[in-house]
Amino acid sequence: MLLQIENINTYYGSIHALKDVSLHVDKGEIVAVIGANGAGKTTLLNTISGVLHSRTGGILFEDQPIGKLSPDKVVRVGITQVPERRQVFSSLNVLDNLLLGAYLRHGKDTKEEIQEDLDRVFDIFPILKDRQKQMGGTLSGGEQQMLAVGRGLMAKPGLLLMDEPSLGLAPLLVREIFRVLGELREHGTTILLVEQNATAALHLADRGYVMETGSVILEGVSEDLLGDERVQEAYLGGSGS
């Protein structure tokens, strides 16, 4: 198991935002966490990345406890978060935004290795190659999302945490982003994906977890969740497909 979360409870003051949440991610998988607004999805990712700490329970990454680490230490063990609402550096150009993603690899990986990954990001998102010198803040929403994903990839993480990559994107771009995530899995990247777009997320993912008001209420392989009546009613528009 690459990531193992056991019974975590996370609070904002007196608000109990994660209630006995357990979840795991195996190497090479895409695991989706779906749920409505306020279900606790972002809180879950922030607890894994060390932005928040659970009051009880534990988180293991490659069998090492990481639940008490600060965000910079969590990045160093190999977990990179692509946050909701992108957060690209608006006054840095595209190229520098991407290179910043690789900053922890300097001294560890060669310039050539980093350049190879940069080329790969440019292959995946040709628009970023064309806009290398453009300031991050002047990119469109979809381009910023690609840049945020690209920057996450430049860190070459053992586990990529993705918070709502489809947020605010046109359907065509949503398809493109999900296609890219599938391609990343082919290349061995492990992804924990939080999404309100349950249909797209479950069609891509190997397994999924359904969260409601801070708890995991269902889990299973994606196919089973897509076929589950409760999931269809609540998250897939009751379409039955």
Q: Which residues bind ligand ATP (CB under 6 A)?
A: 12, 15, 17, 35, 37-43, 196
- Of 19 and 105, CB closest to ligand ATP: 19
- Of 134 and 196, CB closest to ligand ATP: 196
| DSSP-derived secondary structure for 212-234 | ETTEEEEEEEHHHHHH-HHHHHH
Q: Least CB distance from residue 219 to ligand ATP, whole Å?
A: 16
Q: Least CB distance from residue 136 to ligand ATP, whole Å?
A: 23
- Of 39 and 124, CB closest to ligand ATP: 39
The alpha carbon of residue 121 and the mean position of all alpha carbons in its chain are separated, in whole angstroms, by 17
Kindly state the helix (H) or strand (E) to which residue 80 belongs, with its residue range: strand 79-82
SS (HEC) of 18-31: EEEEEEEECCCCEE
Residue 29's nearest CA partner among 197, 192, 210 is 192
3-state DSSP assignment of residue 168 = coil
Q: Least CB distance from residue 49 to ligand ATP, whole Å?
A: 13
- Of 98 and 162, CB closest to ligand ATP: 162
**Quick one: tokens of 172?**
């065509």
Q: Least CB distance from residue 2 to ligand ATP, whole Å?
A: 22
- Of 12 and 63, CB closest to ligand ATP: 12
Q: Which amino acid is at 220?
A: G
Q: Least CB distance from residue 85 to ligand ATP, whole Å?
A: 10
| Residue 227 near residue 220 (C-beta atoms within 8 A) | no
**Quick one: tokens of 229?**
């009546």
Among left, alpha and beta (phi > 0; psi -120 to 50; other), residue 28 is left
Q: Least CB distance from residue 43 to ligand ATP, whole Å?
A: 3
- Of 14 and 91, CB closest to ligand ATP: 14
Q: What one-character DSSP code corresponds to residue 156?
A: -
